[in-house]
Structure 1
Amino acid sequence: MGCTYDRTADFSFTLHLICVGIVIPVVVVVICYTRIYLFVRASNKRMAKHRQDSNMAQANKLKVDDLTLLRTLVIIGVVFFICWSQYVIVVLADFEDHWPMGVHLTAIITAHSSSSTNCIILGVTNPKFREKYLLVLKPTGSTSTAAPSSPDQLPLPRSRNSIRNTPDHVSMAMVNLQGTPATV
């Protein structure tokens, strides 16, 4: 806590810092997420309009996708607001610095952890993100025999220069502490 500003020195500076550092960013986040949602929604409408063979099922899928995106963006915005509002409340309510340091420390950690929650929220609320997270977290040696359920799940073609996973083709060069390469 020694590297932070002295919030008890000047109340007007603390208010200014909260407005510039927290309130304005919250407004910018809300505006940006609203614009993202409107852009995706307009794009989906244009795609549906240009499809000649568009049926009701595809139109309903676009509406469900819009609602999923809106829900995700609202959750991210609300979590951001909750995390930072705790800090604002603690700083403004305890301007005289009577509360335990643990309260202030918890508030600042919670505030700064808001950006770390986005990947968790996306993994929980968005099925496509969840699939990709599981794909990334899957061990590299495992193979799946299940057929992809959609064209965007097809495996990428291997290039001629890709590394083979067989033991006789694996060669790694490591550098020991003196900086000389050693083959393992």
Structure 2
Amino acid sequence: IYLILTASTVVGNIVVLYTFYLYPYLRVPSNLFIINLAITDILNAMGRNNFVLIGLIMGPEPYTHLFCNISGFINSLGHVVMTATLAATAICRYLVIVRSYARKITTTVVRRIILTTWCYAILNCSMPWLGWSRYTYHPFEFTCLPDWHDENNFSYIIFVFIIDSVIPCILLIACYWRIYAFISANANRMLIHIRQSSLKARRHLPLRIMIKNEIKITKVLFIICVLFMICILPYSIVIFILIPCNVDVSPYVVFYCGVLINLNGSLNPVLYAAIYPKLRKIYRRLGCYLC
């Protein structure tokens, strides 16, 4: 399972990055978030998935104190960057669609936001190194992660659950709900106004295309966020609620909840293809080459 997930995630997201490299006009501010998500998915696949494979094949023996700290940090980093990026994407989509801040959400601003998410994630994941909790080997997940089972680390568990799960989910739901409400109330009216005369329609053709593109990108990004929440919710419930409450959870449930999180990285490139015809074209070429 993990070999398939790793291969599909790495190949799919490398194709995404190659598409953005090949077509510079795609590198608009909103798409920089997708580039960051693709990089994060590759990090998760090359990091967490391979660490799990090591645990599956060799058991806990390779996980010395140093290796456990490094692998645990990398495992946590990818997840925190992903949630922070999705939350930042939702906020920026809200500002562009609802508040008409498109001119202010420039490439420079988005790059600073992405840099901030990485700095925040590095600081967040460094806490176990600094004495707040610790990274330890989890036999049910075959890799090192923060110690969710130690009652002395309960404050850290609550912190991670709220900061890295609850707040991002609330932001995603709130922002996309406001976007949906705004589009439902205004999109048809804007397009009808633009179509009032053929002259106006020709004059506003770029505006119409821009509106449709923004709505399309927002829809796909919303689906990406929903998929992410579906993939992460079972794991969050098991790790942050059931296990700390001493509920007997099967090791298979814990393992497959972890698999579900990693599945997210394999599915994202498929959703990106719904936005970009150029990406679909490269996928078709790759498929023909492999066949």
| TM-score of the superposed pair, with normalisation by structure 2 | 0.35
The answer to whether structure 1 residue 94 and structure 2 residue 235 are counterparts is no
* Distance in 2, Cα, partners of 1:62 & 1:109: 38
Q: Which has the higher helix share?
A: 2
Deviations 1:57-83 (A, max 9, x none): 544333322221111110111111221
Answer 1 or 2: higher relative contact order, Cα 8 Å, separation at least 6.
2
The answer to whether structure 1 residue 104 and structure 2 residue 254 are counterparts is yes
* Distance in 1, Cα, partners of 2:167 & 2:146: 19
Q: Which amino acid aligns with 1:19?
A: I
Deviations 1:20-54 (A, max 9, x none): 444466578889x9xxxxxxxxxxxxxxxxxxx94
Structure 1 segments unaligned to the other structure (5+ residues): 34-52, 143-184
Selected match of 1:14 from 154, 157, 170: 157
The answer to whether structure 1 residue 138 and structure 2 residue 288 are counterparts is yes
* Distance in 2, Cα, partners of 1:30 & 1:135: 37
The answer for the alignment partner of 2:269 in structure 1 is 119
Structure 2 segments unaligned to the other structure (5+ residues): 1-137, 177-200
Aligned residues: 122
SS in 2 for 1:98: coil
Residues 136 and 16 of structure 1: CA distance in aligned 2, closer, same or farther (over 3 Å): same
* Distance in 1, Cα, partners of 2:163 & 2:276: 35
* Distance in 1, Cα, partners of 2:256 & 2:281: 33
Identity of aligned residues (%): 19
Deviations 1:66-123 (A, max 9, x none): 2211111101111112211221111212321511011111112212332332102112
Alignment of 1:28-39 (within 5 A): none
SS in 1 for 2:149: coil
* Distance in 2, Cα, partners of 1:97 & 1:5: 19
What is the aligned-residue RMSD (CA, Å)? Answer: 3.6
State which structure, 1 or 2, has the greater radius of gyration over its C-alpha atoms.
1
- The answer as to whether partners of 2:242 and 2:249 remain within 8 angstroms in 1 is no
